[in-house]
Amino acid sequence: MKHAIPALFCLILVAGCAGDPDPTEDIHAVMRTAEAAWNAGDLEGYMDCYWHSPELRFAGGGGLRRGWDAVLASYREAYPDRESMGTLTFSDLDVTVLAPDAALVVGRWRLERGTEAPHGIYTLLFRRVAAGWRITHDHTSAAAES
């Protein structure tokens, strides 16, 4: 019995060192769900990819918005109807895990609507919160029109 305690301790230690599973697929799933909600004209569903908190930050379009409600209001103003929302595509997602509860995501976005196709890049800080992996900081930029 005296050897059972060190063996049990080693087993617990090894299990603890195994670490959390790689969140890359979970983050990709959040982005696919957001893309699908946008393309269905569901802004609230799209916003589910964001941390529902007053501490959410969104930088883009020359401004900084703080809080989930402010970001949603900004989206509603910029995209008042289904036609203005067009079809959104995310691509080239590159996930860098920073910690068990944090990841940096860089990628491209493209919006097809009518004869326009605005596009650009984004840098997202994902954190694992109570609701799962969510964007807590978003810096999105648009490419210059050519």
Note the pLDDT tens digit of each residue in 79-126.
999 999 999 999 999 999 999 999 999 999 999 999 999 999 999 999
46 burial (CB, 10 Å; 0-12 / 13-18 / 19+) is: buried
Q: With beta carbons less than 8 A apart as the criterion, state whether 75 and 56 touch.
A: no
What class, spelled out in words, does domain 21-142 have in CATH? alpha beta
pLDDT band at 3 (very low <50, low <70, confident <90, very high): low
Note the pLDDT tens digit of each residue in 24-79.
999 999 999 999 999 999 999 999 999 999 999 999 988 999 999 999 999 999 99
Which stretches of 57-118 are assigned E, i.e. beta strand?
A: 57-60, 63-66, 87-99, 102-112
Alpha helices in 18-86 (DSSP H): 24-39, 43-46, 68-78, 82-85
140 pLDDT above the threshold of 90: yes
- The domain spans of the chain are 21-142
Structure confidence at residue 71 (pLDDT):
97
12 pLDDT above the threshold of 70: no
13 pLDDT above the threshold of 50: no
